[in-house]
């Protein structure tokens, strides 16, 4: 048996191969146990030890990349103990096959490590989001989403630099110098993208709107669903999903409807000049009474705003609270409009035109 183990095969003894295979199999069998142990230690740093539900979420995120990382690390350490077979010692485009394998192995290890770090960031974001949901301010939530994506990008860049340094033995300082020149050229070529990135920081720190707000621009109206590094995603009132560049959201006038204190409706009535002053006075009082009897109407204004040879113009403005939904507000508008029409019929007053112009500033 001992002679069999000492037999040479591709520059290594059979016993060495068995030792390497045994180490890898042991890592495969014990990976989940070891991964959960290290994940628990890591959880004590980023989470709360007493929160079992949160701990389960953390393990679900971290254990899988930790499994791959540990098995890969043990495999590389074990295989490194073997002598590289001479039969595989050849060049590929001036690079030895062993160097190529080493580079691939190191790059894979770095990629798995960055994957693990990204999972940790996702868990930290979950914790912060839970805390942010306890507050009424939604700016915390959008900052978490923003910086989660931002740090993921930073980690990917760090991972690429580590691959160049440790997998391909490139001088990172020279690489950074070259990248800075290339980056300047790219920045000039992608100036609009850089402007959108800067605009995203302006949005997060100036807070003209937040995730969940109802906003109105020149060509769109809708709810903000996500603020990204380049654009803002909006679910329009027509239920379409649009992406608006952040620069446009900063440079144009944006009406944050969610920050309004009241919803406003405007009604303009053009009455026939045949109406007498007494009839007009009585009609105005009846409209004021209609609005006064509506508890949803917080304040109102009714007056004869203009008169002339063609018509008497009556201006009616009323306001409702923002706690009302848009459907409830539309229902209120409809009820008031019908009541005004009923008063017109009762008073037998004629309109100067066949239409009653109703202008609503809140959509």
Provide the CATH number for the domain around residue 248.
2.30.30.60
> What would the two tokens of residue 163 be?
């691959």
Taking every pair of Cα atoms in the chain, the longest distance, rounded to a whole number of angstroms, is 124
239: left (phi over 0), alpha (psi -120 to 50) or beta: left
Residue 48 shares a structural domain with residue 178: yes
The pLDDT tens digits along the chain (363 residues) read 556 656 666 666 777 778 778 888 888 888 888 887 777 777 777 665 546 667 777 777 888 888 888 888 888 888 777 776 776 666 777 777 777 778 888 888 889 889 888 888 888 887 777 777 776 666 566 677 777 888 888 888 888 888 888 777 777 676 666 666 666 665 555 567 778 878 888 887 888 888 888 899 888 889 998 888 788 999 998 889 999 999 888 888 888 888 888 888 999 999 988 888 899 999 999 999 999 999 999 999 999 998 887 889 999 999 998 888 888 889 999 999 999 999 988 888 888 864 444 444 444
* Residue 199 falls inside a structural domain: no
Within the chain, how many helices (H) and strands (E) appear? 10, 13
Whole domain around residue 238: which residue ranges?
A: 208-258
Q: Within this chain, do residues 284 and 174 fall inside the same structural domain, yes or no?
A: no
How many domains is the chain partitioned into structurally?
3
Strands 241-245 vs 312-321: parallel, antiparallel or unpaired: unpaired
| Cα–Cα separations (whole angstroms), residue 253 to 58, 247, 249, 334, 363 | 42, 12, 8, 30, 17
Q: Are residues 251 and 264 in the same domain?
A: no
Residues 267 and 218 in one domain: no
The residue written with tokens 């990349």 in the block is 65
Residues 165 and 281 in one domain: no
52-91 pLDDT, tens digit each: 667 777 777 888 888 888 888 888 888 777 776 776 666 7
The model carries a pTM of 0.49
Q: Give the DSSP H or E segment for 315.
A: strand 312-321
Is 27 in the same domain as 144? yes
Q: Check which CATH number belongs to the domain holding 343 and give it.
A: 3.30.70.100
* d(C-alpha 150, C-alpha 158), whole Å: 13
Looking at the domain assignment, is residue 203 inside a domain?
Answer: no
């Amino acid at each position: 048996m001992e002679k069999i183990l000492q037999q040479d095969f591709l520059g290594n003894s059979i016993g060495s191969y068995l030792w390497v295979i045994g180490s890898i199999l042991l890592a495969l069998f014990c990976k989940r146990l070891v991964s959960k142990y290290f994940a628990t230690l890591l959880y004590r740093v980023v989470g709360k030890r007493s929160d079992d539900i949160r701990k389960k979420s953390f393990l679900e995120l971290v254990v899988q990349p930790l499994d791959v990382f540990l098995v890969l690390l043990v495999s590389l350490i074990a295989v490194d103990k073997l002598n590289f077979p001479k039969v595989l010692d050849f060049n590929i485009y001036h690079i030895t096959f062993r160097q190529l394998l080493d580079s691939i192995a190191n790059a894979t290890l770095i990629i798995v490590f960055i994957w693990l770090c990204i999972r940790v960031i996702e868990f930290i974001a979950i914790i912060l989001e839970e805390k942010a949901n306890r507050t009424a301010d939604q700016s915390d939530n959008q900052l978490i989403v923003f910086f989660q994506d931002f740090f993921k990008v930073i980690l990917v860049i760090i991972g690429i630099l580590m691959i160049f340094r440790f997998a391909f033995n490139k001088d990172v300082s020279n690489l950074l110098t070259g990248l800075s020149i290339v980056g300047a050229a790219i920045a000039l070529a992608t100036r609009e993208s850089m402007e959108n990135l800067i605009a995203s920081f302006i949005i997060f720190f100036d807070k003209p709107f937040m995730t969940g707000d109802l906003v109105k621009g020149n060509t769109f109206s809708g709810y903000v669903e996500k603020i990204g590094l380049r654009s803002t995603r909006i679910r329009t009132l027509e239920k379409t999903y649009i992406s608006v560049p952040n620069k446009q959201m900063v440079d144009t006038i944006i009406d944050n409807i969610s920050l309004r204190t009241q919803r406003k409706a405007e009604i303009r009535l053009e009455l026939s000049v045949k109406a007498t002053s007494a009839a007009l006075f009585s009609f105005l009082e009846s409209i004021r009474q209609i609005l006064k009897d509506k508890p949803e109407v917080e304040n109102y204004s009714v007056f004869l705003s203009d008169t002339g040879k063609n018509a008497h113009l009556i201006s009616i403005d009323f306001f409702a609270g923002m706690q009302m939904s848009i459907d409830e507000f539309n229902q209120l508008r409809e009820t008031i409009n019908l009541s005004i029409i009923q008063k017109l019929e009762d008073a037998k007053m004629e309109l100067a035109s066949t239409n009653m112009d109703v202008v609503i500033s809140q959509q």
